[in-house]
Structure 1
């Protein structure tokens, strides 16, 4: 009779038929064997070479491998493969030191008082999943290796939380890195990691620091309450900063040194070493948006006029009064908010606005519940927007004709008209909404129309432009579309373009989310774990399942 499956050896001191120590079990374990360790503390350390083993806690008990009595790692492993599951490792030196091994750590807790909790070098594949590093000189050090660190917490570290260097290209996803004496994440010497949806907080220096020709992709991370800048890229570094939030850091929040060339996507704002975004860079970002040729032309014209007026002032020539308030008219999902945000940064770069901050409000933020309350609310919002852009979406809902609530919306309009005149050089007010309704809005106060320098019309995106937009969304989400999806997408967008509720880029976003769900359902039915290509690929059939 042939026995199939890995052999399991039980370690349980004092139990008849079980091994008394982990070392004894290692001496007897065959390749691909599993060592199940009963709850308890084991003062043992090991060096493993070219072994293929799994060591796991038995029946969910707490298993502690205590190596604090020596100045060497609890586990030093090279070659072969090693999986640790549900263990606690405490060490003076490294808890786990791995070199050229296929390493997997799952649901482990690790600490090392005078070294890294985990050191991975020269490994072609490794996984650190749902682990906790609590107390170490460095948290996780990855050099010349590929793999992933996911849903792992690193805290109470004297030095750097996570160090990635020497060309390593791991993926960090969903990790929390906090309470580090130096940097939260340090990327150096040609490293190319993907750092996504991580939370970095309470570090002595930078939250995420990139140096020495490295090219990381930092996606949708939150960096806050750090001693240095939130994210820094040194000269010679590239990569991407995508939709990252930086809060309560040293200014400028995101620091891109001269000679560094990462791409930066909102809501993060690209900063140079002087703390300001260059005018040409902002215009390039505007021009890189899909479609909107008329909008881009109008914004360029405004910038040109402001720039020339500044030159005329310097030459001692007269300059006419210029209003920086604008009307954005058009259907939803056509980029009005993004252009308004960029417009504020352009005005800051030109020296027109002092801060360039962006404040988006709607009727409920301005209109109160009784006479007098609305004027107070509107004034507070306006004063908080001084130095930047006040963006009022669906502004037509403030007028008597389109709004509700008696004269309260009208009171907000009347208050805005006066404030826009009194502070014409201190703020840029942009009102936005459907074209026809915005004409009615301008009729709500005789002086309202004259406060705005021009109306910029945002046209609906064409089907081809919407295909470009959803393709960017897909790529930004680490997915890819099969080649035969483009015609399917184009046909769908052409079919819905005449719907009165057509949402342009909003419909593209909803479609992308729907396709992701269909792909997830399809992959779950495979009966196996998909490979990386399958996890990234969205097919024409996925799209059709949503669009039909």
Structure 2
């Protein structure tokens, strides 16, 4: 049976609990600030926060957490140090989940001597360095390094960690520095705001950099030094110092900045495709307000590109949108066109469209939802993630163990970390979507705009029905458009009203009615007979009239 020790319930300090905890024990920390240092030598323990927990060693001599060997899991704890690293792990294995690290002088986390670090959703927000790996490995995933005075991430002495889905921003010197024969993998990361170069490879190192964006750096985006071997696949490098990518003549490097399915080179505009897609949008029936909003968004993207080319400042722009309105009003179609427009403008690399609902995002046990939501999000990278009936994520459905909120919280963080790599569109009924936005304090701010899709009027539904029919090689007989208008005008516009779906459903019924009518003719129908839908077919389909 696993031993659980509570602090401060049974023990006044964390160190008191650690001294007596057997291997395999769980030490739970009640919310509060613990002004002490934790030192673990070859221990097998779990530290778990029950609320907001800070281990503050800023006035003490040494790291807030020092681990030598063993196996330690930490969840939900913030570590703060003064003139030392916040966390030091030498050998052994450390797992950090949902932790925050701060250090006045030194690294947020320093791993050495064969240590393995598994970090997920870890934030280093103030330190001399963010993560430092020296002859160490592991994985840093869905994490953030921001506001660092020197290098954001250092990988040295043959270290081979994997950095995945992590943001490195606002560092005083380099974003990521790889040297001394190290072999890291940097995958789907975002590196920006470096005071020098974004990523530097030196001293015989051999990294693999995949689907990573490097932007807004004072120095070059990526530098590969003498004698190094680097693989740079499907990356995007923009708004950096010159040159954007520098490869030393003695280095061996494979560089792909435009790979299919990855991140494309900035500025790859296709003006003809933009105009084609805008014409396709204009050809949709109704939706005047929506069309105007989409055009305004496209205009803003174009003007920002002109400003960037002129050397003027450009603010951060979110491509995430909210679509509100009843079903059948064209939300999915507009979302597809919007994604293709972003691709044609060079904003997104592929414009692929991934439509999901609650069941694709929400798991059935603790930890499963974050995994599912992250996987779905990563699959949509480079294109549009369309979440239909998104408001259902904020409903517990009458059950105590509902993980919809976890899905929302996961999406909020991913949307911010990867706002330039994906467009998230959430859709649903107007009133319910307002409740959805209240589910997380940062959710509404992630979206650039709300587009309201209004119900179609009778005139528009007749036009939609006519277009659907013509696409299927049917025509309307005289008098049928007028009869259709009367029918659509009589439909109640409640929340069950399906808009274009009503027109499609009605045509299905009319085609069935036509089939019965033609079979009863007693002769082979002509080509015109096979194509023509009549008022009688409408009456049969709707069971109205004599």
Using the size of structure 1 for normalisation, the TM-score is 0.49
